[in-house]
């Protein structure tokens, strides 16, 4: 369990992370989303005690990271692939980590095997590809068999095989009851991997909800209608306060309304329907909407009220 | 490249008899001893450490042989002591050790490895103390070796013409190792405060050679007085056994103070600044 309590980081009068309150629970993959510069990495660095919060706390099972006696056995982190000295071999790098936390040195060979770096274990890591660097970072995260894992943009530089591998790894870690906290800007990846989403923009919390709920709540979740009398229906729907898009032909995309309300409006207008179906927003769309509105405008998202009851 | 995902890390760990998540903070290991072991592993797993130490030996042996040969052929060997050339010889080779000392920390900042170090050992003071201890353990023996190399070469070149007093020689060799250790700790402290390899080495060269040379050029009494308390001058009584303007205990105390001040500055930066 990771608890962020009013976590705040300011540089001068610029607030990078503002008053963040989130609990990241075990047993699921929690995706950490936000545009570049939203404060994701800073938040992760504060959890690991690398950066000092201006205010508030980041706690690991109720303790500050620096209080952990063997931090690598509690929390495994992949911050970025560059946290490795290029002149050192993966084996030496991991051996030093193991010794610092009283982890049996035989774990080094185990995690190297697990991430598929056994063959290059004694080569200096400076010449590694980005993907191999990521694997080495992940090996370091797994070294202490920790109950909490944090990955900052883990699929960066991985080939499709590697992306699939890391996705399966995160799923299996969560299935074992571990806390998996992973940041990404690849929404499609999160849709496939995450159970829970924490979305921030400009350091502020925008959403903390299950993936399905984020999609469902999006005002971009629409109702698709096909009718031979699109103009008549459109007028009716607009009058009822819904928003209508006309992609062309006899198709209408209605937002701000439910299937029932659209159906009722068609019935009242006496309009014949060829199709009435829900169209879920993709996570990407939901996310773009969330961050765009929260970042650029202080005012609530238009139509957000309509969605509250969905 | 093969990848295994099937059983997951917990299964692998249990299979190997490693600890489970429940006893996370039980068990031994880690702590200060673990930090020292980790720093020791890190120091010797870098090629730069070996290169720098080999360079230190070469930079000691070369000038020692050259200087001794020049003196010998110039007929200036009368009353030459075995350790007489130490301060001159070490003036150059000390920077190879300064490089090792600096890189222990600045190399980590340059490569990002410091984030791994500080997540593994979040107690900042412990990291610096472990690095300092490992540095002493590496530099002191090398310092003894450098003193031995220099004196050995003098002995061979000067032969019987040279004054060889075992007590003075031992004092000089120990003093050289002590001086080099203090200078290395000074560089480690400075490196922790400055975080940049180039900045640290430049600053150390300035303090060890630049300011003393400049003060000699100016020949101003006050500045010369100040320069006599800098690490380079403080090392002279240790290496040479000189007593003017102060003896070796005062020299050792001064060197210790310089190292301690730099380490304190480094510790403050490590504590207060974000990594």
- Based on the fold, state whether residues A229 and A197 are members of the same structural domain: no
Q: Which of B212, B13, B200 is nearest to A113 (CA)?
A: B13
Mutate to test the interface with A, among B116, B124, B270, B272 (most CBs of A within 10 A): B116
**Which residues does chain A have within 8 Å of residue B2's beta carbon, measured at their own beta carbons?**
116
Asked if residues B30 and A69 have their Cβ atoms less than 8 Å apart, the reply is yes
Q: In this complex, do B5 and A116 lie within 8 Å of one another by their Cβ atoms?
A: no
- Based on the fold, state whether residues A175 and A264 are members of the same structural domain: no
For residue A128, tell me if it sits in a domain.
Answer: yes
Domain boundary among A182, A209, A236: A209
For the four alpha carbons of A269, A252, A214 and A294, in that order, the dihedral sign comes to negative
What is the arithmetic mean of pLDDT over A279-302?
A: 62
Mutate to test the interface with B, among A43, A45, A68, A100 (most CBs of B within 10 A): A100
**Which residues does chain B have within 8 Å of residue A110's beta carbon, measured at their own beta carbons?**
12-13, 16
- Based on the fold, state whether residues A247 and A144 are members of the same structural domain: no
For residue A271, tell me if it sits in a domain.
Answer: yes
Confidence at residue A9, expressed as pLDDT on a 0 to 100 scale: 95
Helices within B74-165 (DSSP H only): 86-111, 113-120, 124-158
Domain boundary among A169, A188, A209: A209
**Three-state secondary structure call for residue A162:** helix
Q: Is residue A296 very low, low, confident or very high in pLDDT (cuts 50, 70, 90)?
A: very low
- Based on the fold, state whether residues A158 and A270 are members of the same structural domain: no
- Based on the fold, state whether residues A253 and A176 are members of the same structural domain: no
Q: Which of A39, A46, A72, A97 is nearest to A149 (CA)?
A: A72
pLDDT, tens digit (0-9, with 9 covering 90-100), for A118-137: 999 999 999 998 889 999 99
Can you give the CATH number for the domain in which A236 is found?
Answer: 3.30.70.980
Whether the pLDDT of residue A184 is over 90: the answer is no
- Closest partner residue to B8 among A66, A146, A172, by Cβ? A172
**Three-state secondary structure call for residue A59:** strand
Whether the pLDDT of residue A183 is over 60: the answer is yes
pLDDT, tens digit (0-9, with 9 covering 90-100), for A18-50: 999 999 999 999 999 888 788 999 999 999 999
Q: In this complex, do B24 and A175 lie within 8 Å of one another by their Cβ atoms?
A: no
pLDDT, tens digit (0-9, with 9 covering 90-100), for A82-101: 799 999 999 999 999 999 99
- Based on the fold, state whether residues A244 and A136 are members of the same structural domain: no
Asked if residues A104 and A132 have their Cβ atoms less than 8 Å apart, the reply is no
Q: In this complex, do A69 and B16 lie within 8 Å of one another by their Cβ atoms?
A: no
Q: In this complex, do A165 and B5 lie within 8 Å of one another by their Cβ atoms?
A: yes
Q: In this complex, do A51 and B46 lie within 8 Å of one another by their Cβ atoms?
A: no
Q: Is residue A308 very low, low, confident or very high in pLDDT (cuts 50, 70, 90)?
A: very low
For residue A310, tell me if it sits in a domain.
Answer: no
- Based on the fold, state whether residues A93 and A148 are members of the same structural domain: yes
Q: What's the number of domains chain A is made of?
A: 2
Q: Which of B189, B133, B24, B69 is nearest to A74 (CA)?
A: B24
State which residues form the domain around A121.
Answer: 2-209
Q: In this complex, do A103 and B4 lie within 8 Å of one another by their Cβ atoms?
A: no
Asked if residues A185 and A40 have their Cβ atoms less than 8 Å apart, the reply is no
| Mean of all residue pLDDT scores within chain A | 88
- Based on the fold, state whether residues A175 and A51 are members of the same structural domain: yes
- Based on the fold, state whether residues A270 and A176 are members of the same structural domain: no
Percent of chain A with pLDDT over 90: 56
- Closest partner residue to B116 among A70, A83, A175, by Cβ? A83
- Based on the fold, state whether residues A186 and A236 are members of the same structural domain: no
- Based on the fold, state whether residues A169 and A229 are members of the same structural domain: no
- Give the best-scoring range by mean pLDDT among A159-168, A213-222, B195-204: B195-204
Q: Give me the average pLDDT of each 10-residue run along chain B (275 residues).
A: 41 38 56 96 96 96 90 76 84 95 97 96 97 98 94 85 82 95 98 97 95 89 90 92 89 97 98 91
Can you give the CATH number for the domain in which A183 is found?
Answer: 3.40.50.300
ipTM of the complex model: 0.85
- Based on the fold, state whether residues A182 and A95 are members of the same structural domain: yes
Asked if residues A138 and A166 have their Cβ atoms less than 8 Å apart, the reply is yes
What is the arithmetic mean of pLDDT over A270-283?
A: 84
């Amino acid at each position: 369990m990771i608890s962020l309590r009013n976590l705040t980081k300011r540089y001068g009068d610029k607030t990078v992370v503002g008053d963040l309150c989130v609990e990241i629970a075990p047993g699921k993959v929690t995706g950490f989303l936000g545009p570049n510069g939203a404060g994701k990495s800073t938040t992760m660095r504060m959890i690991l005690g690398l950066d000092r919060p201006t205010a508030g706390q980041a706690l690991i099972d109720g303790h500050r990271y620096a209080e952990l006696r063997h931090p690598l056995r509690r929390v495994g982190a992949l911050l970025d692939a560059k946290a490795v000295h290029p002149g050192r071999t993966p084996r030496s790098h991991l051996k030093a980590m193991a010794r610092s936390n009283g982890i049996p040195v035989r774990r080094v060979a185990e995690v190297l095997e697990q991430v598929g770096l056994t063959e290059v274990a004694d080569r200096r890591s400076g010449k590694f590809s980005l993907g191999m660097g990521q694997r080495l970072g992940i090996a370091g995260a797994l070294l202490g068999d920790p109950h909490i894992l944090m990955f900052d943009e883990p699929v960066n530089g991985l080939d499709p095989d590697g992306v699939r591998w890391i996705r399966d790894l995160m799923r299996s870690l969560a299935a074992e009851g571990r806390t998996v906290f992973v940041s990404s800007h690849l929404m499609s990846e999160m849709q496939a991997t995450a159970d829970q989403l924490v979305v921030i923009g400009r350091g502020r919390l925008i959403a903390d909800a299950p993936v399905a709920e984020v999609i469902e709540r999006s005002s971009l979740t629409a109702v698709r209608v096909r009718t031979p009398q699109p103009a008549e229906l459109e007028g009716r729907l607009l009058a009822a306060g819904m928003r209508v898009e006309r992609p062309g032909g006899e198709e209408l995309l209605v937002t701000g309304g439910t299937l029932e309300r659209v159906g009722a409006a068609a019935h009242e207008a006496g309009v014949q329907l060829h199709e009435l179906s829900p169209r879920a927003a993709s996570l990407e769309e939901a996310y773009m909407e969330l961050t765009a509105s929260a970042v650029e405008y202080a005012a609530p998202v238009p139509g957000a009220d309509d969605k509250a009851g969905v | 490249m093969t990848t295994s995902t099937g059983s997951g890390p917990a299964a692998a760990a249990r299979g190997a008899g490693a600890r489970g998540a429940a006893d996370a903070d039980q068990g031994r290991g880690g702590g200060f001893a673990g930090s020292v072991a980790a720093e020791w592993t890190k120091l010797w797993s870098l090629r730069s450490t070996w290169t720098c130490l080999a360079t230190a030996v070469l930079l000691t042996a070369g000038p020692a042989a050259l200087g001794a040969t020049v003196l010998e052929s110039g007929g200036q060997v009368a009353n030459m002591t075995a350790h007489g050339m130490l301060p001159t010889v070490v003036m150059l080779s000390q920077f190879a050790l300064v490089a090792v000392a600096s890189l222990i920390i600045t190399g980590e900042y340059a490569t990002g490895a410091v984030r791994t170090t500080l997540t593994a050992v979040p107690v900042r003071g412990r990291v610096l103390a472990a690095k300092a201890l490992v540095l002493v353990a590496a530099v002191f023996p090398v310092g003894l070796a450098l003193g031995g190399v220099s004196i050995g070469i003098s002995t061979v070149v000067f032969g019987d013409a040279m004054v060889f007093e075992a007590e003075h020689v031992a004092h000089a060799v120990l003093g050289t190792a002590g001086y080099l250790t203090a200078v290395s700790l000074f560089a480690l402290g400075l490196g922790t405060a400055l975080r940049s390899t180039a900045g640290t080495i430049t600053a150390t060269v300035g303090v060890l050679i630049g300011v003393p040379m400049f003060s000699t050029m100016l020949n101003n009494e006050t500045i010369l007085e100040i320069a006599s308390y800098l690490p380079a001058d403080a090392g002279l009584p240790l290496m040479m056994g000189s007593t003017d303007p102060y003896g070796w205990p005062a020299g050792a105390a001064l060197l210790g103070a310089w190292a301690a001040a730099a380490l304190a500055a480094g510790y403050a930066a490590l504590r207060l600044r974000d990594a």
